[in-house]
Each structure stands twice: as structure tokens, then as C-alpha cells.
Structure 1
Amino acid sequence: MFTMEFVDFYLATFLLLTFAIVKLLHHTRHKDVNLPPSPPTLPILGHLHLLKEPFNRSLLALSQKHGPIFSLRLGSRLAVVASSPSVVKECFTKNDIVFANRPFFWIGKYIGYDYTTLGSSPYGDHWRNLRRICKLEIFSTSRLNSSSSIRSEEIKELLQKLYFTCSDDDLVKVELKPMLSKLAYDVTMRMIAGKQYMGKPEAIRLHNLIKQLLKVGISPNTGDFFPFLLWADFQGYKKRVVKLTREMDGLLQGLIDEHRRNKEENTMLTHLLCLQESQAQYYTDQIIKGIIQDMLLGGTNTVVITLEWSISHLLNNSNTLQKSKSELDFHVGHDRLLDETDLPKLRYLQNVISETLRLNPAVPLLVPHVSSDHCNILGYDIPKDTMLLVNAWAIQRDPEVWDEATSFKPERFENGRIEGCKMMPFGLGRRSCPGMDLGQRFVGLALGSLIQCFEWRRVSVKKIDMTEGKGLNLPKAEPLEALCKARDITNKLLSCPEG
């Protein structure tokens, strides 16, 4: 009698052989296509065995051997990798519409509400409408101005907690990531729903789910490159994702239902529910949940990562930290806390953030694009359905583009922000991040406030280890700990009772 293990083994073998035959026929059909250069390939795997974490570094090593544009066979998928400004310019200027789509990764079916969210939906009328909603209803200048008090209040609450921890004369060691993570989550939730949710069981669960979904969502899934493995779900990946997304969906639906009952005013949900009343067939609860989820998944993690790297660079460069502090003292003074309206005057602080984003972009490989038609890049043929990977991390550290490319030098931005294909922490083209202005405001206010109110030192005499972690996002490998002490001016600015 056949056992289940016996059946699974022969089923997998049959599917693997079938897949190999299909790939061989596909490769034969395209053998005359002038693809970009490529490393030697293995049967079935293609080049997947060459990709090691962190992927931005392994792709940089391959580009140094095969040039600024090269092709990879990733299981069933063909991909091209862009590692220079000239290649990126071709992709996002004359070929921008061709590369305006996202690959249909399996995770988008569940986390992306069946490919209907802004991040996962294909280019077309629905995506354009979602983009318009985000620009007008969520991230417009007027909306950001109206929500500035939320960011100020939440950052002040963080400052007060630090103050009561570090108000003694001695420096106190603090671990920053948990505090920054809570700050980003609280700000985002208040912008969405208008009130603080932290402390409630459902809010804590939602925060934990966001962390789990980020970990699952940004990890490469073998089923996207070998579809038969996804169908079989040998490792239970699909079952785990379905469970997480169903729980996330339930919490988001509860948030919408509560908001609908209480009729909160002047929040993001308020505006989305008003749109639902006028166009109920389009602005369904599912579309609204997708927008909320994109904000929670896309906004909180990148802010925390950027703040961690910024503070780490400042701790390793005491002169830069002192220069930032002097700028704040000059433009803001000692009688009030930093406000978002001050940020345009703080050019050096903005340079510090820009240099951090250059060296340590939160998303080192831009979110993948996919070609909707055949196109040509620098004389190479790019077939339809080819995945485009842009190694922004490599370009932003390219010694042919940047002087002292791996050194932290905020002064390089003194003549203004460097735009275009040399610097792309928020992506490029039609699918660039719509929340860029919010992210820059939030990071600027939080980082500037921490510098204004506290003295900061490294825990060790040695410089902080700037090694990045693994995955498709780049947090620090080691937790960020620092010594903290309230400045003299902080006694006046924050000496109100705790809470």
C-alpha cells in the first residue's frame, strides 16, 4: 500500500521533470533573443544558487563580473538586474510604462487582497485611481499639514519618556528600536483612525501581525519561482500566510466598523468612508483595508530603519552630531520644541538624512517591476514578463558616481538634493513611493527632536557596527543601543509630569 510520503515524493518528481521540460522548451524558443549577459546557469535552479543574503551585495558582485545590466534565470522567471544610472534611466524614462507593472508574486493574492492594493495591483485604471486617492486624500500637502499635530504629540510623548529615564546627571543606556517602532506605529494609527490604540489587546495584536507579515512578505518565496512547490505547499508556507492575513483582515475590518459606528472626524478613515458613501461599488471595505494595510506595512518599517541608521551614523561621527545640534540651537532656539515648519530651515539635518538614505536605503533593491511588453535597453532585448530588479544600494554607493562613495559625508548635499537615477531611496517612475513627503517629515521631526533634547554617546569606545541584516529590507544586524542624557534646555521643554 502506498504511503503519503511515497506519493508526495513521486508527485514532486513528476512535477519537477515536467517543469524542467517546459523550461527547456521555453529556453529553446528564446535562444535567439539578445539578452543581457548572464552567468553560467544550472538546470532547473537557473541562477538562484548565486543569490546569497544580503541580496544587494551578491547582486553587486555579479554586476562587477557581468556589467551594469545582466540577466538571471530564477527558476521559472527571467530577470534583468540594473546596477547603474544609465540603465535605470532607460528603464524609467522611455520604458517607464512598460515597467509600470508588478510581478504577480503569490503573496500579493493574500496580503495584496487579490492584487487590488496600490503596491500589488497591475498598472491600469484601478491602480491610477488608488494613486490619485493617496495623493489627494492621504499624502497631499494639506492633509499632511492637518496631521502634523499628531506627529508632534507622539514624538513629544517619546521625548518625555526618554526624559524621565535620562534626566539624571549620568548617561543612561537605552535601546532605541522598540521605542522607535512604537512611535512609528502610534503615529500611523492616529493618522488612520484619529486616536491612540496602543495598549488595547487588538492594537498590540495588530502591531505584532504587521511585524510577522513584513517578515513573511519581504522574504523570497520559492513558490514564486517554482510554482509546483507552492501548489504542493510542502513547508506549510501558504497555510501560514493565509492564517496571518485572515487575522489581519479581521482586525482591520473591526477598525473600519468601529470608525463607522463612532463617526470619528478628520481622519484618513473618515475621508475614505465618505468616498464609500458616494461610490459604494468601488470604495468597498476591501479597498479601504488594502489602503490601511499598505500604510501600516510600507510606512512604519521604513521609518524605523531610517531613524536607526541615521542615529547610528551620528553616534559614529561626533562632529556631524555637534554640527546638527548647533543648527537646531540656532534656528529653533532653547525656548520651544522643534516643529515641522522648522524643517525647511534645517538644511544640514536634511543632508544627514539624505546621506543616510544614500548609504542605507531601507529598501536596497527597489520593489520589483515586470515588463508588460517586449522592449529594448541599451541594445539588449527584454522579453515580455521579464522581472526588473534595480540595485539602488549599489548605485548609491558606486565610486564612479559618488566621491568617497562609502564614507558618510552629509556635506555632499550642500548644493541641494541629488535627484534622478543616482539617488532613489523612494523608487522611481510611476510606481515610486507616494508617501515620500510624509516619510521625510516624520524622520526629520523625530531625528531633530532627539538631537535637540538629548546628549548622545556610543555605549562603547569602538564605533557602532554598521553591518546590515539580511532580507529585502536592511535594518542593522545588531540592536541599536546608545547612552543618553537630557540637555539643560530639556529641563524647561519637557519637565511636565509624566503622562
Structure 2
Amino acid sequence: MSSFLFHYFLLSLAFFFTPKLFLQNKKLKNIPPGPPSVPFIANLHQLKKPLHRAPHRISQRYGQIISLWFGSRLFVVVSSPSAVQECFNKNDIVLANRPRFLTGQYVSYNCTIIDFAPYGDHWRNLRRITVVEMLSSHRLNAFLEMRRDEVKRLVQKLARDSHKEFTKVEMKSRFSEISFNALMKMILGKRYWTDDNEAGDVEEGRKFRGIMHEFVPIAGANNAADYLPILRWFDYDHLESRLKSMAKGIDGSLQGLIDEHRNQSTKQTL
């Protein structure tokens, strides 16, 4: 009986939301052609593995510019070089906005950091600060020794692991480590991805690694609740609970860095 009621409830929701989605789709005019969609999930069922080849396979039938509905979100796939050039050269401002995902809402302060912020005055100001304070030639040259130090550490680790005999080494995590530490040293002046036998705050390093390992898998555009909003009613895959917990941990870490910086500034003043 409980199983019957659950399926009846889902079916009722589908009938409730399907007309709304169809009406929403009809309001959009002059969108490119695309394959027919089914109620509720739209074209999601047509994404076969490997996923990065699915849009190309569909475009071979419907043209070089096609539209796909992934749940409630519209995607336009452009596979023509001339059309891509027109999109990103002539109409780049029109297409500059980023989609709003749950990750940006909870972890990126309601989409206000540069990775998630919509195009506008706020994003342009963030871009200016990033370019001038972090990515200018003067800044990059000033941080050269920090990057050299991280490369030296990596080479020393590889030499230590293989000084007796040839050893198979997993490099993905090590490249992540060197990139993250170089970035943190450039921004904050200290390393946060440390081993137990290295100098530094080991506990703080573990905390940062935990946050990064938990954040990366859900930081992209692969969360079902971003495309089917109804799933948020059930906290599908505990996504929002995890994001809230993660945001709290990130806030705590950032507040710790701010307090540390204030204490150092106070000591230097005294």
C-alpha cells in the first residue's frame, strides 16, 4: 500500500508540473530545433555515455545549432565554427551569464564570487581585482619563488618514493596538491595541503583537504536537483544538506584566516 501511494504521489506531481513545463517552453520563441522531449525529464533520457559525445550525435540529425531541455533548463548546443565565433565575438555579452546552480547558492554566497556571479558591474569589479592583484605580470613574477618551491617539493617527494626502485605514482592528487598550495601561498602566504611529516598546521591541512574532496564531486553541473527542482522537496541525494554543511565549514575556515590576519596585523602595529 505504501509503495502504491508513493508512485501515485509521483504520478500526480508529474501531471501537475508537465503542463507548466510545456507552457514555459512555448513562451520561448525562435529557439533552435531539437529532438522531441518527454514530460518532466525532457531530453535527459537521450544523454547516452560517453556524455560528451551525446550532443554531437544529436546534432548530426538536427543540425549544427540545436536546443535541448535538461529537465527545466534549456541548453543550446553550437557545433559550427562560424556560429561559435559569432556567439563569442559578436554576442559575447548576451551569452556571458552563468547558470545559477545550488552550489553557487550555498557555497558561493548566492552566486556573488567570480566563478558564479552573473555578468555585470559586480563581476567586472571582481575580474579587475583578480587581474590586477593576482594575474598581472608583476604579481606572477613576484610569486615565482613560491611556485618554484612547490615544484621542488614535488620533485623531492617523487625522488623519496622511488629512490630504491621504480615505483608507480598517482600524479593526479599530487598535481592538485601543488596547484592548491601554490594558489594558497600566493593569496594567503601559507600552505594548507601538508603531509604529516611536513612543517605546517597538519590539522588545518586535513580540514582543507576534507572540504576540497567533498566539494569537487558536486561543484560541477552534474547534480540532478539543478535540473529537476521537484527533487529539492525531498533533498535528493542529501545535496542541499551537504552543501549547507560544507558552506558552514568553509565559513569557519575563512573566518579563521581573517582572525589570523588581524592578529598578525595587530602584533606588527604594536
TM-score band by shorter chain is 0.7 to 0.9
The equivalent position to 1:25 in structure 2, one of 8, 13, 23, is: 23
Tell me how far apart the structure 2 counterparts of residues 135 and 24 of structure 1 sit (CA, whole Å). 43
2:13 corresponds to which residue? 15
2:160 corresponds to which residue? 164
**Is contact 2:146-2:186 (8 Å) kept?**
yes
**Is contact 2:18-2:39 (8 Å) kept?**
yes
Tell me how far apart the structure 1 counterparts of residues 186 and 87 of structure 2 sit (CA, whole Å). 35
Tell me how far apart the structure 2 counterparts of residues 262 and 11 of structure 1 sit (CA, whole Å). 58
Tell me how far apart the structure 1 counterparts of residues 120 and 175 of structure 2 sit (CA, whole Å). 36
The equivalent position to 1:184 in structure 2, one of 179, 185, 192, is: 179
2:223 corresponds to which residue? 221
Q: Could you tell me how far 1:219 is from its partner in structure 2?
A: 4.8
Question: SS in structure 1 opposite 2:168?
Answer: strand
Tell me how far apart the structure 1 counterparts of residues 141 and 7 of structure 2 sit (CA, whole Å). 59
Q: Give deviations 1:350-396, integer Å, cap 9, x for gaps.
A: xxxxxxxxxxxxxxxxxxxxxxxxxxxxxxxxxxxxxxxxxxxxxxx
**Is contact 2:134-2:140 (8 Å) kept?**
yes
1:194 corresponds to which residue? 189
Q: How many residues align?
A: 259
1:78 corresponds to which residue? 74
Q: Which amino acid letter does the alignment assign opposite residue 159 of structure 1?
A: V
Q: Which amino acid letter does the alignment assign opposite residue 54 of structure 2?
A: S
Q: Could you tell me how far 1:88 is from its partner in structure 2?
A: 1.2
RMSD: 2.4
Q: Could you tell me how far 1:245 is from its partner in structure 2?
A: 1.9
1:209 and 2:207 are equivalent in the alignment = no
Q: Could you tell me how far 1:12 is from its partner in structure 2?
A: 4.4
**Is contact 2:225-2:236 (8 Å) kept?**
no
Q: Which amino acid letter does the alignment assign opposite residue 215 of structure 1?
A: P
Q: Select the structure that is richer in helix.
A: 2
1:230 corresponds to which residue? 232
1:132 and 2:132 are equivalent in the alignment = no
1:174 and 2:176 are equivalent in the alignment = no
**Is contact 1:154-1:187 (8 Å) kept?**
yes
Q: Could you tell me how far 1:218 is from its partner in structure 2?
A: 1.5
**Is contact 1:45-1:75 (8 Å) kept?**
yes
Tell me how far apart the structure 2 counterparts of residues 85 and 105 of structure 1 sit (CA, whole Å). 28
Indicate the structure whose relative CO is greater, using CA pairs within 8 Å and at least 6 residues apart.
Answer: 1
Cα 1:6–1:250 change in 2 (3 A) is: farther
Q: Give deviations 1:159-183, integer Å, cap 9, x for gaps.
A: 1222233345x53333322322222
Tell me how far apart the structure 2 counterparts of residues 229 and 166 of structure 1 sit (CA, whole Å). 49
Tell me how far apart the structure 2 counterparts of residues 218 and 175 of structure 1 sit (CA, whole Å). 23
Tell me how far apart the structure 2 counterparts of residues 226 and 55 of structure 1 sit (CA, whole Å). 19
Q: Give deviations 1:12-31, integer Å, cap 9, x for gaps.
A: 4443322101112233444x
Aligned ranges 1:48-447 → 2 under 5 Å: 48-167=44-163, 171-197=166-192, 198-199=194-195, 200-263=202-265
Tell me how far apart the structure 1 counterparts of residues 104 and 94 of structure 2 sit (CA, whole Å). 20
Identity %: 41
Question: SS in structure 1 opposite 2:69?
Answer: strand
Tell me how far apart the structure 2 counterparts of residues 263 and 158 of structure 1 sit (CA, whole Å). 32
Tell me how far apart the structure 2 counterparts of residues 83 and 56 of structure 1 sit (CA, whole Å). 12
Tell me how far apart the structure 1 counterparts of residues 81 and 58 of structure 2 sit (CA, whole Å). 17
Q: Which amino acid letter does the alignment assign opposite residue 232 of structure 1?
A: F
Q: Could you tell me how far 1:235 is from its partner in structure 2?
A: 3.3
Question: SS in structure 2 opposite 1:175?
Answer: coil
**Is contact 1:185-1:207 (8 Å) kept?**
no
Q: Give deviations 1:115-136, integer Å, cap 9, x for gaps.
A: 1111111111111110111011
Cα 1:189–1:28 change in 2 (3 A) is: closer
**Is contact 1:222-1:230 (8 Å) kept?**
no
Q: Which amino acid letter does the alignment assign opposite residue 25 of structure 1?
A: L
Q: Give deviations 1:277-296, integer Å, cap 9, x for gaps.
A: xxxxxxxxxxxxxxxxxxxx
**Is contact 1:147-1:191 (8 Å) kept?**
yes
**Is contact 2:35-2:62 (8 Å) kept?**
yes
**Is contact 1:46-1:74 (8 Å) kept?**
yes
Q: Could you tell me how far 1:213 is from its partner in structure 2?
A: 0.8
Tell me how far apart the structure 2 counterparts of residues 26 and 138 of structure 1 sit (CA, whole Å). 43
Tell me how far apart the structure 2 counterparts of residues 187 and 216 of structure 1 sit (CA, whole Å). 23
Tell me how far apart the structure 2 counterparts of residues 106 and 231 of structure 1 sit (CA, whole Å). 13
**Is contact 2:101-2:221 (8 Å) kept?**
no
Structure 1 unaligned segments of length 5 or more: list them.
265-499
